[in-house]
Amino acid sequence: MASNVILARMGEVTLKGLNRGKFENQLKVNLRYRLRNFGKLSITQSQSRIWIEAKSEDNPAFAGEEAAQEILTAVTQVFGIVSASLALKFEGDFDVIVKEAIAYVDKLLQEHPEYKTFKVESKRGNKQFPLSSPEICTEVGGNILDNFPQLSVDVHNPDFILNVEIRDYNYLYSGKVMGHRGLPVGTAGKGMLLLSGGIDSPVAGYMMASRGMQIDAVYFHSFPYTSEQAKQKVVDLAKIVSRFSGKMNLYVVNFTKIQLDMVKNSPEDMITITMRRVMLQIAEELAKKSGCKCLITGESLGQVASQTLEAINITNEVATLPVLRPLIGIDKQETCDISRRIGAFETSILPYEDCCTVFVAKHPKTHPSHKDIENAESKLDIKAMVEMGLNEGLEIIEI
Ligand code: ATP
Ligand code: MG
């Protein structure tokens, strides 16, 4: 009987010299975690490829093609995977292979009646098999031509490629879904993402996770100025990032009193900066407590008033951990493209207010000096604010 299996290909991981084993193991752990809701699976590696299949025949997640497609998508979202294909696995001699290949192409042509040209590619892991790889291609190709007169062979630019692989079992597949590449999460420490409800910060988290970084997140919430829906939106965005980055703690800081205090006691045009500085200090304390070795923001140079070099410098000064800004040189359009690709965009553009927009000045200082910030913070008890953020009403949500 034929069954569905997924063939996943590893990318950069395989270039890792002596450390390769560590990266590969982490990748398999991450695959297992990402696929935890799809029943009992066997995940095995051979060279630069990983094979994923059901442990027993009655696993419904692998039974139908539609269900298997869902697993395929999940596999491509695990960093370290460059591409994946859904393959048919079966036993039998060459006659069986030809028969299955014809049935496979028949089904493919029903889905894609526009296909007119093809080629066969083959791999033979089982050297006992009586035909060589080129012979397999010629024989299978010839049989397909005989059965589908509308098709012709085009080795340079075919509409579809039929892959035939012969190893412990026989495998047939056509086409592949591209993965998100990168390195397995868990191979590059952990970072604390400042996650707002906007477009940029979820993308920033995704980008650092793609380099192997595990992510925790912190959101500054100013209830009731920012609504319950605004918070839910951030939770939803955290879930989207965690599809790629794995388990995550989301810290929700009660920011209301702190912000009201700032509005009352600090010049209006400096609020954005003072707020940013306090956010960064609270985030840093949370980062240290939870084992994060850096902070991550969605800032992009010049995008808004608080993202000029002067403003970034003045904000940065309060942090001792490095602040990573993966979007700093990235165009907004490109950020939106990534946001769409990871499925965050629709959530990010929901029209709920953010604490920065609620209290923002009409004309914030774009080139703040040290004197400006000294003046702005002179009437504020920053230390107490940071303490308050860490202790009063801090909520931790496991994502
Ligand atoms: P985003 O699209 O991520 O909201 P933005 O373009 O709106 O970013 P800013 O509002 O200046 O830019 O925020 C810059 C960065 O500061 C954000 O990317 C995020 O990392 C952090 N940040 C802003 N507001 C919050 C918040 N309420 N909670 C947590 N982090 C925040
Ligand atoms: Mg924002």
- What number does the ligand 1 atom closest to the CA of 272 have? 11
Number of domains, the chain: 2
Picking from 121-125, 239-243, 358-362, which range would have the lowest pLDDT averaged per residue?
A: 358-362
Residue 152 lies in a domain: yes
* pLDDT above 80 for 303: no
- 355 falls in which pLDDT band (50, 70, 90)? low
Pocket of ligand 1 (CB under 6 A): 194-196, 198-201, 218-220, 297-299, 303-304, 306-307, 354-356
- 356 falls in which pLDDT band (50, 70, 90)? low
* pLDDT above 80 for 64: no
199 and 155 together in one domain: no
Token pair 């808004």 is at which residue? 304
User: Which CATH number goes with the domain that contains 26?
Assistant: 3.30.2130.30
Among the bound ligands, name the one nearest to the CA of residue 306: 1
Q: Is residue 4 a contact partner of residue 87, using CB atoms and an 8 Å limit?
A: yes
As a whole number of angstroms, the distance between CA 115 and CA 110 comes to 10
- Is the preceding peptide bond at 224 cis, omega within 30 degrees of 0? yes
* pLDDT above 90 for 359: no
Determine the pLDDT at residue 63. 78
136 and 226 together in one domain: no
Which of the 8 DSSP states describes residue 183?
A: B
As a whole number of angstroms, the distance between CA 331 and CA 335 comes to 6
Q: What is the mean pLDDT of residues 139-152?
A: 97
Beta bridge partners of 54: 41
125 and 235 together in one domain: no
- 139 falls in which pLDDT band (50, 70, 90)? very high
User: Which CATH number goes with the domain that contains 373?
Assistant: 3.40.50.620
113 and 203 together in one domain: no
157 and 213 together in one domain: no
Q: How many residues does the chain have?
A: 399
Q: Which residue has the higher pLDDT, 65 or 316?
A: 316
Residue 126 lies in a domain: yes
124 and 234 together in one domain: no
- Tens of pLDDT, residue by residue over 222-276, are 999 899 999 999 999 999 999 999 999 999 999 999 999 999 999 999 998 999 9
Measured at the alpha carbon of residue 148, what is the angle toward residues 105 and 176, in degrees to the nearest 5? 25
Q: What is the pTM of this model?
A: 0.93
Supply the residue whose CA is at minimum distance from atom 14 of ligand 1.
299
Residue 206 lies in a domain: yes
Domain limit, last residue, from 147, 178, 209: 178
**How many Å from the N-terminal Cα to the C-terminal Cα in the chain?**
39
Domain limit, last residue, from 131, 155, 178: 178
Sheet hosting strand 214-221, strand order edge to edge: 323-324, 295-296, 190-194, 214-221, 249-254, 395-398
309 and 380 together in one domain: yes
On average, the pLDDT of the chain sits at 93
Domain limit, last residue, from 148, 178, 208: 178
Supply the residue whose CA is at minimum distance from atom 31 of ligand 1.
196
Ligand 1 centroid–CA 34 distance in Å is 28
Determine the pLDDT at residue 354. 73
Domain that holds residue 389: 190-398
213 and 280 together in one domain: yes
69 and 139 together in one domain: yes
Q: Which amino acid is at 337?
A: D
